[in-house]
Amino acid sequence: MLLLSDKKDLLREDIMRIARRALFGLMATGLLAAALTSSQAQQAPATLLIRGATIIDGLADQPLRDRALLIEGNTIRGLVPADAPAPAGAQVIDLSGKFIIPGLFDSHVHWDPFMGELLVNHGVTSILALDNLPKALRTRSQAAHDVPRLFHTGARPQFNANSSETDISQQIRNWLDSEPSMAWFPQYNLRLARAYKFAAEEVHKTGFLVFSHTDHAPDSVRDGIDILEHVWGYAEALMSPDELKAFQDGKMLTWATRLNDWSKLDAWIADAVRRGVYMNPTMNYEWGGVSRRSAQRELEDYRIISNPDLVYFPRNMSDSILARNRQIKNFSSRYDSMPWVDKLPAADRKEFEAGYNNVREFNKRWVAAGGKIQAGTDIITGGVPGLALHHEMEMLVESGLTPMQALKAATSWSAEILEGKNKARGDAKIGSIRAGNFADLVVVSADPLADISNTKKIERVMKDGRWVDLGYHPEYYTFTQRPRSLAAATFAPVISAIEPSKVTEGAPNMRVVLEGSGFMLTSLVRVNGVSVKTKFIDPRRLEFEMPASAIERATPNPYFAPGPAQSPAPIGYRAVSVHVFNPPPEGGTSNTVHQLVLPK
């Protein structure tokens, strides 16, 4: 158990880590911004009229085909008739055959400074960072073209089940000092319910929304959550006490197979929708590996990651992102955190696919009931920054949402975060194409309402009233520390025992068992440095056949000194070295254990 002083030290280290990352991001992106300032100024007319394009404003249920878009400086002045005369001195652009959508908003980001131009190049002009970002960085981001508009949760309120109301109120006041856009709470559970409810009430008084994980979604809705982070809290609420204990003990492959009592779920969804609660399901991160389009998305990820100008994209992250297209989020102690789908037994794969179908159906019912989904990616774990949001929209359409609804999930519905509780903080100035909003736009060459994948066919991005110079710059960012790992990454395993621990020379091939921790479906046992066929039993147990050639002789014995002939070795016996290799992503090599080879 951590002492209070230990927790404070860990919190202090976390804050310092975020500050260092933000400082390095400011230094790197600041240099690039200075180089681009003069060229950007030249391409920013005081007034711009865009004609000919089909406009999808993020608000209406139908596209606008008979309107032109008028922009003054960094602000949208309005949608005018298609044949309206251009204001004096205005630049006029004809984008006939093109489609204009609002700048995209990723509502679930674990920020890292290297992400900036990746996001903007994919039309993501705003993000919500689950972080406490420096004010200077947030201010600069509003007009900069190499980074999206940065909104953040601020310093996470620190309260627990034993916190007094006075302490919680002080935590909320401290949180407000960080100028947040939304509150990110600790994970809701029944033990925390009292403190959570009071904290939510305090946040709501200030006009902000509450976002968090939850282990019981219906109760957390009652107690003040506004944005549900992932779907699993509804499945847990349906579990019997025995099922819930089994899930918590790692005896259930996935929670999603329990998401199937639709009479209860429909009632809970109706209650959440009535209260104005949003769902942030992170589909691509959790379920992308069983999607019918996973192979295509892996190829798209690779095409971005392999760009030579993205030399700064960390290899450990890129390898893990590519692998996620073939993996599935697992909750059972039978496998590691992210097992490879094609290595699963048929019955387990079928169970994951059934769970995926349940989650898709849940999302569909949520929107059919009038609820709103916010498209969030959970990057960097959720995919390539920027591209992941397009993949998330595709996954929402796979769930039964229309392309228009998926677009709203990545624009206006997510932007409502900034409007606060009951719109207490006023209209969001992003996420839609309407008068008074910032001129953040994406121009695509094909109709996204015909195929949501067309959002990736980006020809232009406008941020803050200026066209972005699309492309990547190898000098954009330099890591001065080892990049962090993705959530649920697997590292080097550990061997604690080998059985049998000794054999007699000349024995035939024999089954050997390794016990330890961190074993994976892809783990490889190596005998004297050479890989052998390995059977995965579970994350704590592997089996393999010891080759007869490795134990054919008890010699040469390094412990047997020259001298008179003796039967026993006075000091010891020759040994075969055994270790386990977990291949990338991440992965690593275990400690080495030895099997003794005894003379006959």
Q: How many CB atoms lie within 10 A of CB 13?
A: 10
Q: Which of 56, 59, 61, 60 is nearest to 69 (CA)?
A: 56
DSSP-derived letter for residue 423 is G
Rg (CA), the chain: 28
List of domains in the chain: 100-467 (3.20.20.140), 494-561+569-598 (2.60.40.10)
User: What is the per-residue pLDDT for 600?
Assistant: 87
User: What is the per-residue pLDDT for 561?
Assistant: 67
User: What is the per-residue pLDDT for 45?
Assistant: 57
Q: Which of 33, 60, 69 is nearest to 442 (CA)?
A: 69
pLDDT in tens, the chain (600 residues): 433 344 344 344 444 444 444 444 444 444 444 444 444 434 555 899 999 999 999 999 999 999 999 999 999 999 999 999 999 999 999 999 999 999 999 999 999 999 999 999 999 999 999 999 999 999 999 999 999 999 999 999 999 999 999 999 999 999 999 999 999 999 999 999 999 999 999 999 999 999 999 999 999 999 999 999 999 999 999 999 999 999 999 999 999 999 999 999 999 999 999 999 999 999 999 999 999 999 999 999 999 999 999 999 999 999 999 999 999 999 999 998 899 999 999 999 999 999 999 999 999 999 999 999 999 999 999 999 999 999 999 999 999 999 999 999 999 999 999 999 999 999 999 999 999 999 999 999 999 999 999 999 999 999 999 999 999 999 999 999 999 999 888 899 999 999 999 999 999 999 999 999 999 999 999 999 999 999 999 999 999 999 999 999 988 877 766 777 666 556 778 999 999 999 999 999 999 999 999 998
User: What is the per-residue pLDDT for 556?
Assistant: 82
Distance CA 512, CA 519 (A): 15
Helix orientation angle between 346-368 and 262-274, rounded to the nearest 10 degrees: 40
User: What is the per-residue pLDDT for 384?
Assistant: 98
Phi, psi of 293 (to 5 degrees): -105, 15
- What SS3 class is residue 285? helix
> Sheet holding 534-538: strands in order across?
494-499, 510-517, 541-546, 534-538
Burial zone of 209 (CB within 10 Å; 0-12 exposed, 13-18 middle, 19+ buried): buried
User: What is the per-residue pLDDT for 572?
Assistant: 77
Distance CA 38, CA 42 (A): 7
